[in-house]
Amino acid sequence: MGLTVSAATLGVALSAPLFGALTERLPRKRVIVASLLAVSIPTLLSATSASLGQLILWRFLQGILMPGVVAVLVTYIGEEWPPERMALMMSFYVSGTALGGFLGRVATGILTDWFNWRVAFLVLGAGSLAGASLVATWLPPGRPRAAMEAGARPAFVPQVRNLLGSRRLVATYAVGFNVLFSLVGVFTWISFYLSAPPFQLSTTALSMLFFVYLIGLVVTPAAGYCITRVGLRAGIAGAIVCSMAGVVLTLAPSLAVIILGLALVACGVFIAQTAAQSHLRVAAPSGSRVTAAGLYMTCYYLGGTAAGVVPGAFWALGRWPACAWSIVAMQGIALGIALLGWRPGDPALDRQTTESLNPETAQSNL
């Protein structure tokens, strides 16, 4: 059954960089709408599955098609909003993903209890179709991109090699791996801890833990505004430290403190996602931004896939405390990579970062 989850994340990880390279020159809105429509097809077909193998196949195809939405949309935000507002707008996007994650987990659980799992997939597919219609109607087509972006670019393999040669981008990919690893690792494995004595929470009570996602809807935009003032490097450091503190709090014997810790984990992860995706716009070269975002999605979803497996080894050694400290150690490594990888060093890129985060400087340059 775990493959029904990891198949989708693996599909995203495999297709994201290729999808980014193939769609680099295409109109962003057209790719986003087409991908939303395409994702709805395997989602609806999941409801027709006659075996577990068929369900895993449809889930894998969902993942293969998803980068057309997430990777391209991250690039679209970076291109369509002024640099001084980019982190704030990215925070609204991340808040939207938090709301989607919450609704996807809670609403489908309720539908499955009331009806069955097939109805849940049908509703998800219908929601994807409705979302595609709304995006097609409301999303602006986007401004014409610079002629330089439309010109000749390196082939896929050299392009990826150039992107992986960037210290800042590699650090950003490592942060992306840690973001989903932390979120999936904590919320997956703590459920085993809380379902056992002394807490013994029911399945319904465990699903209610995802209400802490809603805190991110408020905190993330506020943090996005603050990041524009303190900078991306300070923002990512604060986000990871917040998440680490949250994981440590889950070791307390009090359920109330554990819930507070989960809220801090969610907030830290969402803020880190905002900072990392904003940094992609700063660090990625023009003409390779969708490919760079695709590589980020690959690392991001590989982190989620690893979180379903790696903490299990620590669980066997020491249950939840061992899992928690292993996740904190992973976050500490990501913090060090971010601080080193995002440190000043490239004068041109440092100047671009300053202009992106300083509204007064950006306005004067305009």
pLDDT surpasses 90 at 236: no
Are 317 and 323 in contact by the 8 Å Cβ rule? The answer is no
Residue type, 93: Y
Give 13-42 pLDDT, tens digit per residue: 888 777 766 666 778 888 889 999 999 999
Of 142-156, 170-184, 214-228, the poorest mean pLDDT is in: 142-156
- Chain centroid to Cα 357, Å, comes to 22
What pLDDT score does 94 carry? 77
pLDDT surpasses 90 at 133: yes
pLDDT band at residue 344 using 50, 70 and 90 as cut-offs:
low
Q: Which residues contact 80 (CB under 8 A, 6 or more apart)?
A: 140, 142, 143
What pLDDT score does 258 carry? 94
What pLDDT score does 20 carry? 64
What pLDDT score does 2 carry? 61
The region that residue 142 occupies, defined by phi over 0 for left and psi between -120 and 50 for alpha, beta otherwise, is left
Mean of pLDDT values over 45-72: 89
Q: Is the peptide bond before 198 cis (omega within 30 degrees of 0)?
A: yes
Mean of pLDDT values over 198-206: 80
* Higher-scoring residue by pLDDT: 44, 295: 44
What pLDDT score does 346 carry? 47
Give 166-192 pLDDT, tens digit per residue: 788 888 899 889 988 998 889 888 988
pLDDT band at residue 287 using 50, 70 and 90 as cut-offs:
low
The residue count of the chain comes to 366
Please indicate, yes or no, whether the overall pTM of this predicted structure exceeds 0.85: no
pLDDT surpasses 50 at 362: no
Calculate the average pLDDT of the chain.
Answer: 80
Please give the share of the chain, as a percent, with pLDDT higher than 90: 27
Of 8-22, 110-124, 136-150, the poorest mean pLDDT is in: 136-150
Mean of pLDDT values over 47-69: 91
Are 9 and 63 in contact by the 8 Å Cβ rule? The answer is yes
pLDDT band at residue 349 using 50, 70 and 90 as cut-offs:
very low
Among 243-247, 295-299, 343-347, the range with the most confident prediction by mean pLDDT is 243-247
d(CA 67, CA 65) in angstroms, rounded, equals 6
pLDDT band at residue 209 using 50, 70 and 90 as cut-offs:
confident
Question: Angle at Cα 142 formed by Cα 139 and Cα 143, nearest 5°?
Answer: 155
* Angle between helices 156-164 and 167-195 in degrees, nearest 10: 80
- Chain centroid to Cα 87, Å, comes to 15
Q: Which residues contact 110 (CB under 8 A, 6 or more apart)?
A: none
pLDDT surpasses 80 at 365: no
Question: How is 37-85 classified by DSSP, letter by letter?
Answer: HHHHHHHHHHTT-SSHHHHHHHHHHHHHHTHHHHHHHHHHHHHHS-GGG
pLDDT band at residue 333 using 50, 70 and 90 as cut-offs:
very high
Q: What are phi and psi of 234, to 5 degrees?
A: -65, -35
